[in-house]
Structure 1
């Protein structure tokens, strides 16, 4: 979907929007997110430190693999797909020379293996459904019923979903945790918001869509982390015809890289732009054209809401169970995407209940 154009892109995007619309408020999806968040946090109970980037990637991958393919972290197939997916990710922005042993060559081979596994899962799912053994509540189940996509497009769509739901979501989680660790006031207000939501529910009752809609300050924190952190710093575009922009003419065929950072960190657009200040969103339009962390127009990321739900639910349990401090030496850097060079090691202090 990143490189498709015209009718192909429109078909893929329509499927993506349909899947997200159907999925985002379903109890099964929301419950899966919460179960995985609790599972991750329970694994910290005897730890004083964790490498947060690693934990965030584990969380985001377990969520997306469950939602897309219906696989849990305990299934052997999940580990195999993750191993190949990481090899695929490492070669995604490498020099495209197919020489054995290079990141690009390993990425191409890994993608081929993932495609084969996805095709096998599709065939197994079709066979099981043909035997009337019930259906699963995941993207793949809905995707199988879509007649507008070819078999290869469905496999590519699964890969796109894994890619979109893994790296950027986990990096945004890490950025939120990093920034909250430096802002006690924001952390405390966020904690109060989630305590109020939890106080209205039974002890072990799952969060629901209505609870998510009450997380107003959580949305402010996530938006500010997106603006300030710029997880995706730019996008690739191509002028399909001559474009007049202010006093400039962009000729047809030219490549254009809109740089989000230039707008998000512009003090003439966002007051005190170099300060992490979630409260700015109480008075600022969150959908304004000068805030574009997920792109815009027909290429705006269709899964943006899913990423926000994942982070909001994870924060709900993190804030009620832990306090944390991060090592000052590990600051986010762009390579060109955001990375924490040392993995964002955080010190944990478990809250008394």
Structure 2
């Protein structure tokens, strides 16, 4: 028989435990309430889909920054919403973007939707963290920054550009973006695998387009959907590359190149060049200026003589066209990061696990820095010194794209030969900003010899 003292002891212990449990519950609920109270302002939209529909609708338009501008006017430059990755905090000003980008690996890590991880694969450099990411980034930067290599790549790009342009028919309509894509693709295939233009290179390009069509979408393996086709294209590309690798075991460095990641990055200069041609076609004064600059640098050279690296770097207005084109139509409207812990910023709490989206377009269309910001005006890059924090087409922080200089050179090479050899009639064109930056009709033009 249990004594009354024993019953009293257990009852007291249970009572104390209950009090502690209740106190802990009250504290937790109070802490959670205070934490929720300190979330940034904003709307989470509808259940399940959040604000995804208005976001996609607006960012596909000619004014993609309107989604954030409307919310920024209500809530300020830090606000909550719900998009592709669920609960999201968007940050739209220079200081906030710098805060996120420069706290990579400390407060934040990459946090992209599943489809974007599945298509290039988990080993893509985009998803590496910590020391591995830093080492790979530094290695690539040293690689593309090598002066001898830059000179070699410039010559190779010029050679393939001239070779590709020789196939163009004068007086006939061509889709210039597709032609540019073919030339930049041939350049990449030759540099990575020594692969000359031909059937295999064309097959890789075709599968690449299929892959890109499903890179942002609902990750469900349902036959016929863009995601399903994209994953199948990834399998085909992987097999093609591995078959090529198997025949080149004597060059083991090739085996470690992330070809799918490289293919995705390849799309950037092709679209930038196409958009630059679109902007020049719509701005005759700028087209005249860039043509005069490039014709001047050819004076005194033999027609067959190529341009040096220093020649390309001296094309100031051509570089201004490149910068202005990327400002207006940035391939990366922002980057997605995930909070590694509760982050306090400007009096708000960004909860652990939430997506943080530093948004670049609001900065690129800042009227204080870029007056009449929606207008293509490349001279603005010559008229004043624009701080690097306002120039984010290649990201920033530890993940600043190491290939940005190469993209500039590719653009300069192509535009140089285009404007010094051809004049053209261009059809009206619109920009598509989502899911990837592109042009609606692929820049249809009719080309004629300049002289």
What range is the shorter-chain TM-score in? 0.7 to 0.9
Alpha-carbon displacement from aligned partner over 1:86-145 (angstroms, at most 9, x marks no partner) = 222122123211123332222222222222222232232224x6xxxxxxxxxxx7x34x
- SS across alignment from 1:67: helix
Write out aligned runs for 1:113-262 (5 A): 113-127=236-250, 143-144=253-254, 154-155=256-257, 157-165=258-266, 167-262=267-362
Write out aligned runs for 1:319-334 (5 A): 319-328=419-428, 330-334=429-433
Report the CA distance between 1:7 and its aligned residue: 2.7
Choose 1 or 2 for highest CA Rg: 2
Q: 1:69 to 1:260 in 2, by over 3 A?
A: same
Report the CA distance between 1:54 and its aligned residue: 1.2
User: Counterpart of 1:135?
Assistant: none
Residues 24 and 305, structure 1, Cα contact 8 Å, conserved in 2? no
Residues 68 and 162, structure 1, Cα contact 8 Å, conserved in 2? no
Alpha-carbon displacement from aligned partner over 1:327-349 (angstroms, at most 9, x marks no partner) = 22x22132333332222212323
Normalising by structure 2, report the TM-score: 0.68
Residues 236 and 255, structure 1, Cα contact 8 Å, conserved in 2? yes
Residue ranges of structure 2 left out of the alignment (5+ in a row): 1-124
- SS across alignment from 1:289: helix
Alpha-carbon displacement from aligned partner over 1:230-284 (angstroms, at most 9, x marks no partner) = 2322221222344444343323322112221111112023222122111111143
Q: 1:245 to 1:60 in 2, by over 3 A?
A: farther
- SS across alignment from 2:245: helix
Aligned length: 327
Residues 171 and 448, structure 2, Cα contact 8 Å, conserved in 1? no
Normalising by structure 1, report the TM-score: 0.85
Alpha-carbon displacement from aligned partner over 1:32-82 (angstroms, at most 9, x marks no partner) = 1011111222222434321122112112211222222221212x3212322
Which of 269, 272, 277 matches 2:369? 269
- SS across alignment from 1:204: coil
Q: 1:47 to 1:3 in 2, by over 3 A?
A: farther
Report the CA distance between 1:10 and its aligned residue: 2.1
What is the RMSD computed on CA atoms of the aligned residues? 2.1
Residue ranges of structure 1 left out of the alignment (5+ in a row): 130-140, 145-150
User: Counterpart of 1:6?
Assistant: 130
Q: 1:218 to 1:300 in 2, by over 3 A?
A: same
Which of 163, 182, 185 matches 1:39? 163
